[in-house]
Structure 1
Amino acid sequence: MKRVICGILFFSTLVVAQNKSKNHLPDGKAGSLQNVNCKTCHTCDVPTKQNPCLIECPRDEMITVHQTAEQGPDVIKIDKLTNKYLPVTFSHKTHAQMSAMSGGCGNCHHYNTAGPILACADCHNTERKREDISKPDLQAAYHRQCIDCHKEWSHSTDCNSCHLEKGSPITHKVTKGKDHPKVKEPEKLIYETNYNKGKIVTFFHSDHTKLFGAECISCHQNDNCTRCHDTKNVQTVSSTIPEKISKTGSQHHQPCFKCHANDECSKCHLDKPTGPFNHKTSTGWALTRFHEKLECAKCHENTNNFTKLNNDCVSCHKNFVTGKFEHEKTGLKLDEIHQEFDCGDCHSESNLPDGKAGFANKPDCSGCHDDKSYPKDKPGSLVKVIKK
């Protein structure tokens, strides 16, 4: 958009240079209400095609608004210019949530000094002054910020889509703004690809958001409303397959490569749809009833790069205190004699094939008993385990 504007200004300036009797209009016709100084956009007196000498726009560097949607207001009343229409109730929270995936607060708050967030009217004049096009008046500023996004819609963008004429019935739209229905997160998406060694990719959306802690912006960057609402996109036959969008192979893989850059193609590309993440199948270590409720980050410190962990119990459980561990959680309540033992007295290294201490294998009674063995003989009584 910035380049388009700069291009229009450049060619318009050439018109002024070539014919001083005609004002700054793209079509070169006389009669413009504007009398624009070239220095508004150019640093030199006579800009040329080879050297347009355009001034640098400092807005990107001046953005200081980096807040979350929850920190801002739910709605904003736009009521500075209400000669013909009712005030517009702007759904700020909805837009802020969407903007997190496509540029953030700077999409609208393009200029803000350090401190409180400025209202549009703090910089843009409410009067319809058009002499200085480098800073539009308030009405133009409002519409430019809205139209920059909404012009991409394939739907109608007529005035009444946002404005209601005075005298219209007071509806929910007038008081609360436009509501956006809650976006239902898909459990999985199945992609059809052209990769000849595996044309099907099954993406489990719920696994990534609920198990692996991925946020929307982790994958959805530079997306906007048209990503879902553009009716020009073609739906594939299966309802589980998302819209076909013209992207290169690199663009399709870019969100995935943040975590899967070192994975083989065959990890995702298969001949048929696959099942969701299974810890036992994928890692060779099944989660017990004690571990299945834990968040991944409880064991895996780096959730951007999951690596295999040491599955010996002592690698995590290093602070067991004799007499304090509630052994009945395992389904076996120790008797008074065995409650005084250290864990390693029964869970010794001698009965583990790799020689490492751990609690995964059955206890060894031979350290104290010549005639007893587990599970025939138990150091206590079995109890029912209640899952919480």
Structure 2
Amino acid sequence: MANGKRILRLTAIVIALAGVLGFQLEAMGMFDAASETAGRPDVIMIDTIAKLESLEQPAAVFRHDLHTKALKDQGMSCESCHKKDAEGSMTLAFDRLEDGARANMSASELKDMYHNGCISCHVKSEEKGFKTGPKAGECRSCHQERPEAADRVPAGMDNMLHFVHWDSKVIPADAGKDTNCGACHKKAGEEDSWRYSEAAKTEPLKDVFHSQCVTCHESMIEKKADRSGPVQCAGCHGEKETAERAVELAKNLKAMGGTLPRLPRKQPDAALMFHGEPGEIGTIVAFDHKSHEAVTDSCLTCHVDGVNAPLNKSYVAMHDASVDTSCVGCHIKEQAKPECAGCHAARSTVKQPSDATCGVCHTKVGDDLKPALTAEAPKEMKQAIAQRFVDARADKRPEAVAIDDIPDVVTIGTISDKYQPSKMPHRKIVLKLMEGMKDDPLATAFHSAPKAICSGCHHNSPAYATPKCSSCHTQTDGNRPSLKAAYHGQCMDCHKQMKLEKPASTNCVACHEKKTN
């Protein structure tokens, strides 16, 4: 009897230890699994049930690319987990055509669907001799308290990727046409529209891309096509993978001559944008669509939310200097280039522009044109008017300042004490600035006045005048830098912004020799 009780006690202790050890091992597996998610772009948190009720366990961590590879190794495909709708597009939901809320599934039904689907697949994989995932009872291997967040780079259809699809011989041409736009742009007659498909009107664009793009890529792989797109998350969202793809696409572009062909989307070369009082036409902007198209990575840079009006924003928003995708914000971003930043970095971006600056883009409309610019006027007529203004603007190139009119050397010796007066190579500097902007359409448009370039240094005096810096920069005025600080700040900051290695800021004698006496 005593031996029997002792055995029962030992058995209970062993069971308890096994339970504790099992919990610890599972917990260790949880932390090991969490560490494996670091830096992965494919981590997905399955929290569908949270839309219906509070979760009993933390959301499940799902590594998508890991499962994609496992399915491929077993001769299985994406359809093992994702169903296809009537149009053949793969849905993103697991084992159903719609997500839990829209499919009217209860939390209990969703839980059973995930557990039965995932665990049964893991069991079958193990029976086939493959390394597999957690099975019944190993809850914490999936439900983790503190998993690492996914590390994804943004993905999108830029102009280069758009061209790769349009130029593809794998994607068949539309019936009776020499283009294949209809393969992606589903609605007939709207091949020139930005919209990817009818679904893009009601569903998030990312969902449309994931379901229809991955479906197409998967079908290309099944057909053993020469080329296909990625079906794994890392193919579009992995930092290393996207960098390698960018290098490869750049090589292809270089082989084509370095210029990306313009996509045939029936887009206008020029378009009119209006602003003014409601119901009347105030000033218009003749927008050079063709030139802007050539310097943007994607149509969605301007056509946000898929609306064909640039930016889909108000007049104020299009002039918001703090937003890179506004007109003014984009121009300011261009000013950060070294050949521009020397002057523009020191200039205020919130200062009200002059009428001459506004007039580069904005044109007052005469009474003779107003009837042609009403809402009822044909768009072809408006485009023709826009093109006329754009062409006229292109003909107004800035007049070059005669070299002989540019002072060769300017001596700055107002405050020379320990050093000799500085002999600034004025003409050499001006010609260098002019050279940096001569082939830049944006720079030439906004520096149309012959001496506009002079205002970078002559910021508070006429360009044609000899500035007297001491008029503003006195030694006692605390609101402005002193004269010495103003001179050094102007020159040194310009050199730094233009990334000039010489003269170094610490090399005083490079600009003014030291006095011997």
Could you state the TM-score of these two structures normalised by the residue count of structure 1? 0.32
- Structure with bigger helix share is 2
